[in-house]
Amino acid sequence: MLLPGAIGLFAASAAFHYVALALVVPAALAAFWVGYLRHRALPPAVLGCIGAGCLAAALLPGMAEGAETWATVTGSLFLIAGHLLNWRLRRHAA
């Protein structure tokens, strides 16, 4: 019974964002690298790096809460765009 509450507290904590970043960045970089090896197009990787950079910037000390939210949302959208483009290019490179 306590597990959902504990998970909710963890998801609301600052530690969650660091753990999420530590999981997202290596997975995204691996996906973009594999995609690049297949289709040889840089734009997906560039979008992904911008997205990862925005996510990392959101965790900088002293960042205002509103700016942190915008950086996180912007970074997430860049990552999504990079993954969609990567997926599309990989499908057509077969």
pLDDT at residue 89, rounded to an integer: 95
Cβ(35)–Cβ(90) below 8 Å: yes
Which residue is listed with tokens 């911008």? 50
Contact 27, 35 (CB under 8 A): no
Q: In angstroms, rounded to a whole number, what is the distance separating the alpha carbons of residues 2 and 62? A: 33
Closest CA to 15 of 7, 5, 4: 7
Quick one: pLDDT at residue 30? 94
Q: Report pLDDT for 55.
A: 93
Instruction: Give CA–CA dist 72/39, Å, rounded.
Output: 28
Residues of the chain falling short of pLDDT 50: none
Please state the pTM of the whole predicted model.
0.83
Instruction: Give pLDDT, residue 90.
Output: 87
Q: Answer for the pair 75, 53: CB distance below 8 angstroms, yes or no.
A: yes
